[in-house]
Amino acid sequence: MRVSFCTLLLFALLAALPSTAQTSPTLPAVPAGNFHFDGTWDCTGTFLRSGKTHKATFTGTPILGSTWLELTEQDIEPATGYLAKYLIGYDSQQKRLVEFDANNFGAAMYSSTDGWKNDVLTMTSPVADTPNSYAANRFLYTITSPKTFTVDWQISKTSTLVWVPSDHLECTLRSTTIR
Q: How would you write the pLDDT of the chain (179 residues) with one tens digit per residue?
A: 444 433 333 334 334 434 333 344 488 998 888 899 999 999 999 999 899 999 999 999 999 998 999 999 999 999 999 999 999 999 999 999 999 999 999 999 999 999 999 999 999 999 987 656 778 999 999 999 999 999 999 999 988 899 999 999 999 999 864 55
Give the structural domain span for 152.
25-173
**What phi and psi, each to the nearest 5 degrees, are found at residue 7?**
-65, -45
pLDDT for the residue numbered 125? 95
Asked if residue 50 is part of any domain, the answer here is yes
pLDDT for the residue numbered 178? 54
Claim: this prediction has a pTM higher than 0.85: no
Domain total of the chain: 1
Alpha-helical regions (H) of the chain:
2-16
Asked if residue 4 is part of any domain, the answer here is no
DSSP 3-state of 106: strand
**What is the CATH classification number for the domain harbouring 42?**
2.40.128.20
Distance CA 5, CA 8 (A): 5
Asked if residue 10 is part of any domain, the answer here is no
Asked if residue 55 is part of any domain, the answer here is yes
DSSP-derived secondary structure for 118-147: TTEEEEEPPPP--TTS-SEEEEEEEEEETT
